[in-house]
Amino acid sequence: MTPLWLYLHFPDLYLHSLLIPDDQPVALLGARHQHVEQLNEPARKAGVTVDMSMATACSLCPGLICQPLDDIQQQQLLEQKALWAYRYSAQICLDPPQGLWLEIGSMLKLFGGLESLWQRLLREAPTQWPIQLGVAQAAQAARLLAINHIGLPNSDKHWIRQQLHGLTLAQLQLDESLQLKLQRVGAKTLGDLVRLPLADLAVRYGIELVDYLERIQGHKQQPMSWFEPPLRFRQDAFFIEEVEHQNGLLFPLRPLLAALSSFLQQRQLSTRTLILRLKHRHQPTTEWRLSFARAEHREQELLALVRYRFEHHTLPAPVTSLRLCVDHFEDMYPLRAKGKQGQNNHWDKLLGTAGTTDTMDEASGVLDDSLLNRLQARLQHQQLFYLQANADPRPEIAGQLLDSHRHPQAAVIRKGLLRPIWLLDTPIPCPQPHEDTLILHRPERISSGWWDGITVRRDYYLSLQSGQLLWIYRDASKGWFIQGLFG
């Protein structure tokens, strides 16, 4: 199968990752020469241009904010875009600083053709990312179509060749000194260059130019180093103005959580721990670890939980950048313990869920997880427990409180028993009831505990006293006690 390459070009990638007010002129400077490399529309309207010195730019636009362009952070941003693009292709190659190659020839059948894939990619790309596409049989040709903004969802070789041959030497991104030399021999476009003898070009202008032309035409393959997505999540948000309150972090955090949710859904994973690293200008980095009772993967739930947890945190200093990290993952839908077929207890009948499908069990499980997460976000970790049923007939041991982070184990509960959830810490003595008026249920006899020394010999009854339904028992010495209350 002949490979087909789709190139994604993200113009001004680093600039668009910053949270900038619409009317604030901003310019990003190269780390070495202090010249403008990227700028936004307000700065452009003020007369600032690319390659302009910082002094000239500031004199033209007194309110201009100048920031250094961090190459390491720009590389990290490109890797984030590669993670997003991984849903469209299994073979991705980074082209720093602002581009990606995707092999899509093997993916067209899955997406319903080139046109469908092209439109879907543009539709699903976040609005804050300007993106330009180009497609061709040669990887370098796809790149030139994308960066010059002339790419279309058209893989016809004749049309691609026609578009490429019309590119000027500047559009080919050749060195300025090399452009002057080629113009002296009458070469103005790529079409002019490919008509010249390659051997003569190699002698006069170097083998690098010939190698570049052959890669554009597809006569030589573009060297590729495939991107391998790590099983960890890192995304950053950079601020032009410092954030002084924790609620101000929610807006830049929203797109990071959306990217995390997409990352988790692609891999059928979820997480119960988010790490936020807050960078300050004059203080050490602050790290917030946000833990949940149950693993979560949905964007809106993650945002709600983070908002609740922010109520318990205070910023020690204004924040200049934010990083969201996730290192530990769990399966999105873990197997849940299911009872034997046809074995429903009285709660199934009461709630009308007898005979429901696994889909209902799964949906109720998601609902329970969301409730536990929100309770823990409102409260503290040490204040949230749940009741675990044990396979023991003795009421004092039949249930125990477990930490909310522990997974419940399946318990064997005897069918047909009616017991209250509210048990007293210490049974209360009570008078003997009159069986003809107050006893509402046949007695349940418990004679157990001989194996661990906690022997219990009791007869339990349901008794109605003063409008309250009680769970009472008679012990071996004929004494009567209240053990629990029904709601």
| pLDDT digits 0-9 by tens, 248-263 | 899 999 999 999 998 8
What average pLDDT does the segment 78-92 reach?
A: 91
Output 194 or 351, whichever has higher pLDDT.
194
Prediction pTM value: 0.64
| 167 and 103 fall within a common domain | yes
Confidence of residue 345 (pLDDT cuts 50, 70, 90): very low
Q: What is the pLDDT of residue 412?
A: 43
Tokens 């749940």 label which residue?
386
Structure tokens at 127: 């609005």
pLDDT on residue 343: 43
Domain of residue 478: give its range: 422-485
Q: Assess whether 82 and 178 both reside in one domain.
A: yes
pLDDT at 347 exceeding the cut of 80: no
Distance (Å, rounded) from C-alpha 35 to C-alpha 57? 9
Is residue 398 classed as helix, strand or coil in its secondary structure?
Answer: coil
Output 148 or 1, whichever has higher pLDDT.
148
Query: What are the backbone dihedrals phi and psi of residue 34, each rounded to the nearest 5 degrees, phi first?
Result: 55, 40
DSSP E strands, 398-438: 399-403, 422-429
Mean pLDDT across 266-289: 92
How many separate domains does the chain show?
A: 3
Report pLDDT for 385: 67
Percent of the chain past pLDDT 90, that is, above it, reads: 46
> Domain check: are 136 and 281 in the same one?
no
Q: Are 403 and 382 in contact (CB under 8 A)?
A: no
CB 184 within 8 A of CB 204: no
Q: What six digits make up the tokens of 406?
A: 């522990």
Q: Mean pLDDT lowest for which of 220-229, 387-396, 478-487?
A: 387-396
With b for 16 or more beta-carbon neighbours within 10 A and e for fewer, the 181-207 pattern comes to: ebeeeebebbebbbebebeebeeebee
User: How many Å apart are CA 85 and CA 79, to the nearest integer?
Assistant: 10
> Does 248 lie in the same domain as 148?
no
Q: Which of 217, 247, 267 is the last residue of a domain?
A: 217
Same domain, yes or no: 192 and 238? no
Q: Is 94 a domain residue?
A: yes
Residue 239, strand partner residues: 19
Residue 361 within a domain: no
Tell me if 437 is assigned to some domain. yes
**360 lies in a domain?**
no
Of all residues in the chain, what percent carry a pLDDT higher than 70? Answer: 84
Tokens 């419940």 — which residue? Answer: 408
Structure tokens at 269: 């994973």
Residue 413 CB neighbour total at 10 angstroms: 16
Residue 470 within a domain: yes
Domain termination residue (choose one: 306, 331, 356): 331
Most confident of 65-74, 83-92, 140-149: 140-149
pLDDT at residue 296 greater than cutoff 80: yes
Same domain, 65 and 209: yes
Task: Please report whether residue 400 resides in a domain.
Answer: no
Does any domain span residue 403? no
The domain boundary, picked from 165, 190, 217, lies at 217
Element (H, E) at 176: helix 176-184
User: Residues, the chain, total?
Assistant: 487
The reply to whether 368 falls in a domain is no
Closest CA to 322 of 278, 256, 260, 273: 278
CB 7 within 8 A of CB 99: yes
Residues 210 and 247 in one domain: no
Which residues partner with 471 through β-bridges?
Answer: 462, 484
pLDDT tens for each residue of 11-24: 999 998 888 888 89
Per-residue confidence band for 181, with pLDDT thresholds at 50, 70 and 90: very high
Q: What is the pLDDT of residues 386-436, one digit of tens each?
A: 667 777 777 877 777 666 555 555 444 444 567 787 888 889 998 887 755
Model pLDDT, residue 413? 45
* 193 and 282 assigned to the same domain: no
Residue bearing the bigger pLDDT, 361 or 139: 139
Is the Cα dihedral 186, 190, 191, 197 positive or negative? Answer: positive
How many Å apart are CA 363 and CA 17, to the nearest integer? 37
Q: Round to whole Å and give the CA distance between 109 and 97.
A: 30
The CATH number of residue 260's host domain is 3.30.1490.100
CA distance 144 to 136: 10
Mean pLDDT confidence for 77-103: 93
Same domain, 312 and 427: no
Q: pLDDT by residue (tens digit) across 129-156?
A: 899 999 999 999 999 999 999 999 999 9
156 plus 204 within the same structural domain: yes
Q: Is residue 209 domain-shared with residue 253, that is, in the same domain? A: no
**Sheet containing 456-465: which strands, arranged edge to edge?**
422-429, 480-485, 468-475, 456-465, 444-448
181 and 32 in one domain?
yes
Side chain identity, residue 205: Y
Distance separating alpha carbons of residues 120 and 15, to the nearest angstrom: 25
* Cβ atoms within 10 Å of 278's Cβ, excluding its own: 22
Helix or strand (DSSP H, E) at 145: helix 139-147
User: Hey, which of 127-131, 333-337, 342-346, 441-445 has the most confident mean pLDDT?
Assistant: 127-131
Q: Is the pLDDT of residue 336 over 70?
A: no
Instruction: Give the pLDDT score at 361.
Output: 45
